[in-house]
Amino acid sequence: MREDVIIIQKLDLLLSKTENIQSTLTSLANSKVINEEDTLYNMHETMAFLRLCERSVRNLTTAGEITGVKFGSRRFYRKSELKSYLEKQSKLTSLKSKNSNHGK
């Protein structure tokens, strides 16, 4: 009997979190502020966009290179933030390339 109560409490908590996530995502989808650049990508979409493995995306998040938005236990990343990160990396690579060729 006690186990049934615990299971019901856990299910209620899970349902509540799911409803909160759904409500937040719905309000974001209905928001006029969101445009194509603010599309939210899940982990797999982020991995494909950056062409990185999951560990690398998580390492970038831990290092603060990309932040994302957390909904419950899931993290989503803004397309605009990912594009900014790629542009920054492209500029750094370009500078390194110029500097290494400059000494020759």
- pLDDT score of 92: 79
Q: Which tokens hold the place of 42?
A: 């899940």
Low-confidence ranges of the chain (pLDDT < 70): 29-37, 98, 100-104
pTM for the full predicted model: 0.59
Q: Residue 93 and residue 56: Cα distance in Å, rounded?
A: 18
In sequence order, what are the residues at sequence separation of 6 or more whose Cβ sits closer than 8 angstroms to the Cβ of residue 83? 37
Please choose, from the candidates 34, 53, 32, 39, the residue with its C-alpha nearest in 3D space to the C-alpha of residue 82.
39
